[in-house]
Structure 1
Amino acid sequence: MAKDDLPELPDVMADEFRLFDGRQSAIAASVQRGCCRLLAQMGYAAVTEFSLATGRRVDIMALGPKGEIIVLEIKSSLIDYRTDAKWEEYLDFCDRFYFAVPPEFPREIIPGEVGLVIADRFGAEILREGPHTPLPPARRKKLTLHAARVSARRVHRFLDPE
């Protein structure tokens, strides 16, 4: 996708983030928590349920200390993984991509060409790095600014819900 082919990013004001919105299973919420803890330890700032310009929403997008962008797609079960046909669309929006799964997930079915993270509510471990595919500078800037605006808006709504 060329720079000019990108649709506008979703309006920050329309971001419908809620801490617990009922969409996630308890397993997915635990994996998310563990991943976000690991990312924080690595110096990354994570944004959960992050909407992309395509209208798709990634489970976790994280900005690294050097501006790198990673995406983690949580799969809580084998059925969840097998019914997902959208994850490849996320590859154009990150420098590295990972599947994040609970410890009991059958890891051998995750494609070898993407990263793999095992997580529970207490933490996570990267078992396999995703390949590094640098984003074009214009897309990186657009995603970074969008993530900053979404994050700031969420903090504001938390501090002033009215």
Structure 2
Amino acid sequence: MNQSESSAAPQIVDGRQSPTALRVQRGVMRFLRSVHDMTCLAEVPLSNGRRADVIALGSKGEIWIVEIKSSLMDYKVDAKWPNYKDFCDRFFFCKPPELDGDIFPADEGLMTADGHWGEILRPAQHAPLPSARRKAMLLKLARLGADRVHVLMDPETRRDDSF
């Protein structure tokens, strides 16, 4: 194992993500970081009991949620995605290249990504968060990110994703 492999942060995997979803997650996070200067956290628990696939944070505090759909069945069985929109300024679906984009609602943002890169196919509507919700989300993301770094530095510490 070379230096970059040993120091690379592991993906957050809880056993629910398919290999396709993990590839899409990697590509969309790379894209958002490189092109949009956003930092990303994966598998973020929200105060409504849901878990966002990817939350991206912009340099001015803008928050995007990206809901990954790896297959037609994954999309069809999911009715919870509207619950994410109260926690972000922009909401996107993200799909692998082989999945037909026409299955997604035309009024929602849409991205595509593979294991290497991503792109925005359709922009998301901008619906700014109320100030109190934005503050709560920013604190949550800061604490969760710091906690995940702490666990990487000290694997024997207890991880707390409840922030």
Cα distance, 1:20 vs structure 2: 3.0
Q: Is it true that 1:161 corresponds to 2:161 in the alignment?
A: no
Cα offsets for 1:54-84 (capped at 9, x unmatched):
0100000111011100000000000000000
Cα offsets for 1:109-132 (capped at 9, x unmatched):
110111000000000000111100
Does the residue aligned with 2:53 lie in a helix, a strand or coil? Answer: strand
Q: In the alignment, which residue of structure 2 is the partner of 1:106?
A: 100
Contact 2:12–2:43, Cα closer than 8 Å, also in 1: no
Q: In the alignment, which residue of structure 2 is the partner of 1:34?
A: 27
Find 1:50's aligned residue among 41, 44, 48.
44
Cα distance, 1:18 vs structure 2: 6.7
Q: In the alignment, which residue of structure 1 is the partner of 2:88?
A: 94
Q: Is it true that 1:81 corresponds to 2:75 in the alignment?
A: yes
Q: Is it true that 1:25 corresponds to 2:27 in the alignment?
A: no
Identity of aligned residues (%): 52
Does the residue aligned with 1:145 lie in a helix, a strand or coil? Answer: helix
Unpaired segments of 5 or more residues in structure 1? 1-16
Does the residue aligned with 1:70 lie in a helix, a strand or coil? Answer: strand
Does the residue aligned with 1:130 lie in a helix, a strand or coil? Answer: coil
Cα distance, 1:39 vs structure 2: 1.1
Q: In the alignment, which residue of structure 2 is the partner of 1:138?
A: 132
Contact 2:12–2:42, Cα closer than 8 Å, also in 1: no
Unpaired segments of 5 or more residues in structure 2? 1-9, 157-163
2-side partners of 1:98 and 1:22: how far apart?
23
2-side partners of 1:18 and 1:76: how far apart?
17
Does the residue aligned with 1:97 lie in a helix, a strand or coil? Answer: strand
Contact 2:44–2:52, Cα closer than 8 Å, also in 1: yes
Q: In the alignment, which residue of structure 2 is the partner of 1:59?
A: 53
Cα distance, 1:135 vs structure 2: 0.3
What's the TM-score once normalised by structure 1's chain length?
0.88
2-side partners of 1:62 and 1:96: how far apart?
10
Q: Which amino acid aligns with 1:121?
A: G
1-side partners of 2:144 and 2:15: how far apart?
20
Q: In the alignment, which residue of structure 1 is the partner of 2:6?
A: none
